[in-house]
Amino acid sequence: MIWPSTADVVIAGGGVMGLSTAYHLLKKSPGLRVVVLEKGPFFGCGSTSKAAGGFRHQFATEVNIRLSLLSVEMMERFSEDPGAPLAMHFCGYLFLLTRKEDVAAFRAQVALQRRLGVPTEWLDGEEIRRRLPMMRLEDVIAGTFCPRDGLLSPMDLVNGYASGARRLGGHLFTDTPVTGVRTRGGRIEAVLTPAGEIATPILVNAAGAWAASIGRMVGVELPIIPYRRQYLVTTPIPEIPPDFPMVIDFAQSLYFHREGEGILTGMSNRAEPPGFNEQLDPEWELVHMEAAIARMPLLERAGVRARVVGLYEVTPDAHPILGRVPAVEGFYVVAGFSGHGVMHGPIAGLLMAEEILDGQAHTLDIAPLRWERFALAGRSAEYNVI
């Protein structure tokens, strides 16, 4: 592909956020010169390809619930728009609650979710134990289940949006990191890479866990911090039924879902220091598996088929940053999804296209997600972070 010396929009990051944004820009404005720059060897090679692949509506804030409602509808139409296959399974998410304070918080959340049209069910401990006889759940007080939650293939999203963007004339490059940004008079002027520079008035920062470094290139501090997360996939466990849901032990940030004929299980280390370390932590794996086997004794007889280590991109309130950054004209951000990026990728790209081309996102009010919120008191934080 010929290197473009100029572009209308340059997108830093070729995961689900960057590619969804590119596709929706090109769909909305045919002929727009859009360039996507992925620093790694293939699109989605950052956090997207390492995601556990869940999607859910069970959030604590209205804006996150609305993002899910809109995004899941878009994913259901993926075979038509952008016109690509998407493996998607509505197995449901089942949250296990073992602390009284979580029971009270989740009761309020269920009321909010139902008000917004999410069919979340409230379950008592006995009902949960009946549904999950292969697990040890004596300490579970209550829980919630939503049949509209489930699992998808993150790389199907990436490949679908990449194919769609190319078909509409987008210029997509791998192995091309952004090494600098030139500004003039408080405006974006050019993006610098090892392959050359691209003159552009608009830069979209979709760099995920690396988004803060792009921000610093234009003198903007983005409170997006990377944290290591890891999970493993077991060999087949015949006793796991086909309709096994995504099960989350909320107090422990411990989760399980069916992956092929085995189980994918992970647990967040709340003591993990920030950083870009993507090496497996074998000590934490032992802690994780001790907790996992205590919940699901069947795991003790299974082998390990795969281990995956990636990065969460976390903001102080566990909400993403979306939209233009007024401090630098032409600088936009779609990052900081705090572990919820894949599921919100479709709608985030559409909102960014509206923000750039129409002057303001209108499918959803993104005021609670703008960068400027960090200067304000009383922000709403997301409670349901795994």
Question: Over the stretch 36-61, which tens digit does the pLDDT of each residue have?
Answer: 999 999 999 999 999 999 999 999 99
pLDDT digits (tens, 9 = 90+) for 181-191: 999 999 999 99
Rounded Cα–Cα distance for residues 73 and 82 (Å): 13
Average pLDDT estimate for 168-177: 98
Radius of gyration of the chain (CA): 21
Rounded CA-CA distance 217/311 in Å is 21
**pLDDT exceeds cutoff 90 at 386:** no
pLDDT at 338 over 70: yes
How high is the mean pLDDT of the chain? 97
Three-state SS at 15: coil
Query: Residues of 58-95 as b/e, b for ≥16 C-beta within 10 angstroms?
Result: bbbbebbbbbbbbbbebbeebeeebebebebbebbbbb
* Global pTM value: 0.97
**Residue 52: predicted pLDDT:** 93
Does residue 377 surpass a pLDDT of 70?
Answer: no
Instruction: Tell me the domains of the chain and their CATH numbers.
Output: 9-52+154-224+317-375 (3.50.50.60), 88-148+228-308 (3.30.9.10)
Tell me how crowded residue 186 is: count the other CB atoms within 10 A of its CB.
13
Task: Please determine, for residue 176, whether its predicted confidence score (pLDDT) is greater than 90.
Answer: yes
pLDDT at 174: 98
Answer yes or no: is pLDDT of 203 > 70: yes
Q: Which residues contact 359 (CB under 8 A, 6 or more apart)?
A: none
Give the position of tokens 């709403």: 380
C-beta separation of 322 from 351 below 8 A: yes
In the numeric block, which tokens belong to residue 296? 């699901």
Round to the nearest angstrom and report the end-to-end CA distance of the chain.
41
Residues 294, 298: Cα–Cα separation, whole Å: 9
Identify any residues that bridge with 313 across adjacent strands, giving them in sequence order.
Answer: 226
Rounded-to-10 torsion of CA 72, 77, 82, 87: 70
Q: With 90 as the cut, is the pLDDT of residue 384 above it?
A: no
**What is the pLDDT at residue 385?**
87
Mapping DSSP to helix (H, G, I), strand (E, B) and coil, where does residue 189 land? Answer: strand
SS3 288: helix
Element counts in the chain: helices (H) and strands (E) = 8, 20
- What per-residue confidence (pLDDT) applies to 383? 82
